[in-house]
Amino acid sequence: MRSRFRVMRGAALLAGLVLLTAGRVRAADPSPGAGPQDRVFRAGAATSNVTPRLGTFINTDRPATHINDELLARCLVLDDGRTRLAFAIVDGCIIHQEAFDQAKQRVHELTRLPVDHILISSTHTHSAPDAIGRPQGSRDPEEQKSMVTRIVDSQKPDKDPVYYAFLAERIADGIVRALNNLEPARIGWGRGHLPEHLFNRRWFMKPGTPLPNPFGGQDRVKMNPTPGHPGLLEPAGPTDPEVNFISVQSPDGEPIALLANYSLHYVGGVPAHHISADYFGVFATRIGDLLGARRTSRPFVGLLSNGTSGDVNNTDFRQPRGRQAPYEQIHRVANSLAAEVYQAHQRVQFRDWVSLDVIHRRLELGVRLPDAADLVRAREIVKRAKTYPRMQSPEEVYAREAILLSGFAPTVPVYLQALRIGELVIGAIPCETFTETGLDLKARSPFPATFTIELANGYHGYMPTARQHELGGYESWRARSSYLEKDAAGKIADTLIEMYGQLRARAGR
């Protein structure tokens, strides 16, 4: 097996050397004095199977017993003759930065494509494994080790090392294959409008409704209240009904790939032990059917990235949904979304060439560490847990989280990315981002077309806005799933707007 891997890796490396020069940052135009009519825009797409073996834990807590549909890394590469950008949208729930970094480094080693020109994101299907570990910069203080070890050992491990390594390699393979598939192409982008599937999941409740949190206090909002609950008042935040997309096709109009972006957490309705790409996978297939994609040697690739949907799901809390068959709602949402994109696609103006650019930045953000009093309370709760060292009640679970968070560093580097495709800009955020932030970025962007891909290039948990932090609720509860400082959303949005401004200025030059 090892010798076979060396042969495959060597073959891929040899193929990658062909791409060596063109993959570098701002490489010289092959015909610097030529006019726009002589420029050649190229695109390449490919998929790579990232389905885990049966028995792998899905979304941390249940072993897979059936694969309904294969999980894929869906990849797209764009090339304007000077700059290349690569996208990989991966069917996964949560994927930490380490796995993405490993994939990017392998692509760079094989092709010399700069790692900062690669955007990799997870879709957040809840019917796939997590590939997570300790955040970058975390530490494990000596005084916490014994309790931390006992607690962690009692839980299902976050990181499956076998799947982790497999995932990183398969993502890289998909990007390299997309690079190998580069061909002359035209590009266009557009947007549709599909509000009926989006519902903010955080609700204000009527006065007097108890909203306890695991820290001994009361929240002002509730995440995912019971549909039809008599205490419902109004949603605590907005939704974003836009579906944005990029489409590439051959010069004669044959579809090559389409990358869409929609701000919907996931759909669900999947049996507990099934592996599935959720509506992201169904959309990817359906949009190809609607576009009439009939490619054989280089099949069409549909991609659906997750927008800013940290507080948005597919549950209409005012009108409870009736009983449905497994996967029924997934197909309903995906087919509706594909139909909307297809209609908007008829209005797209395709261009023979556009320029590409990218900026990346690392932003140091604070971690919400527990203080001494928090830890005293947490240790007492953990020690008196009836099922110790397993934690069951919300109070016990978040006490455990406080102890684990005490081993984190006080700050963490967060990787941000902004990619320009002509007059379109895409922001990449490694968090479950609230819709308020996505709408703010669109409103302040200097570009006529803007969207955000969340869970991109890493994972730093939920990112409520400062206002939403004050309201409380599950997404704000301090844990490994929500640990960034309360001003993180504002700082990230301001930084991205600065980056957009730089891209705008560079485009002008």
Q: What is the pLDDT of residues 454-509, one digit of tens each?
A: 999 999 999 999 999 999 999 999 999 999 999 999 999 999 999 999 999 999 87
Average pLDDT over residues 382-409: 93
Asked if the model's pLDDT at residue 35 lies above 70, the reply is no
267-305 pLDDT tens trace? 999 999 999 999 999 999 999 999 999 877 889 999 999
pLDDT for residue 133: 54
The answer to whether the beta carbons of residues 179 and 111 sit under 8 Å apart is yes
User: How many angstroms separate the most distant Cα atoms in the chain?
Assistant: 76
Supply the pLDDT for residue 234.
Answer: 98
The overall average pLDDT reported for the chain is: 89
Q: Which of the 8 DSSP states describes residue 212?
A: B
Q: Supply the pLDDT for residue 462.
A: 98
Task: Give the span between the Cα atoms of 59 and 404, in whole angstroms.
Answer: 19
> What pLDDT digit, counting tens, does each position of 333-380 carry?
999 999 999 999 999 999 999 999 999 999 999 999 999 999 999 999
Mean pLDDT computed over 180-197: 98
**Backbone CA torsion sign across 221, 227, 229, 231:** positive
Measured in degrees and rounded to the nearest 5, phi and psi for residue 87 equal -120, 140
Q: pLDDT by residue (tens digit) across 403-428?
A: 999 999 999 999 999 999 999 999 99
Average pLDDT over residues 104-130: 97
pLDDT given at position 155: 43
> What local confidence, expressed as pLDDT, does residue 2 receive?
39
Is the pLDDT at 23 greater than 90? The verdict is no
| Average pLDDT estimate for 14-34 | 37
Average pLDDT on 38-45 reads 93
By CB atoms closer than 10 A (0-12, 13-18, 19+), residue 207 is: exposed
**Percentage of the chain modeled with pLDDT above 70:** 87
Q: Is the pLDDT of residue 452 over 70?
A: yes
pLDDT at 297: 80
State pLDDT tens for residues 138-183. 444 333 333 333 343 334 445 577 888 899 999 999 999 999 999 9
Contact between residue 96 and residue 245 where contact means Cβ atoms under 8 Å apart = no
Let me know: does 492 contact 414? Beta carbons within 8 Å: yes
pLDDT band per the 50, 70, 90 thresholds, residue 126:
very high
CB 506: neighbour CB atoms within 10 A? 12
Contacts of 348 (CB under 8 A, 6+ apart): 188, 189, 190, 247
pLDDT at 29 over 60: no
Q: What is the pLDDT of residue 37?
A: 58
State residue 266's pLDDT score: 97
CA distance 314 to 326: 15
**Smallest Cα–Cα separation from 191: which of 303, 352, 346?**
346
3-state secondary structure 161-201: HHHHHHHHHHHHHHHHHHHHCCEECEEEEEEEECCCCCEEC
d(CA 192, CA 338) in angstroms, rounded, equals 10
pLDDT at 13: 40
Closest CA to 38 of 29, 46, 25, 47: 29
Q: Which class for 67: exposed (0-12), middle (13-18), buried (19 or more C-beta within 10 A)?
A: middle
pLDDT of residue 237: 98
In angstroms, what CA-CA distances link 252 with 38, 259, 298, 303, 312? 17, 20, 15, 22, 39
What is the C-alpha separation between 45 and 298, in angstroms, rounded? 8
Tell me the residue type at 327: Y
Q: What is the pLDDT of residue 61?
A: 76
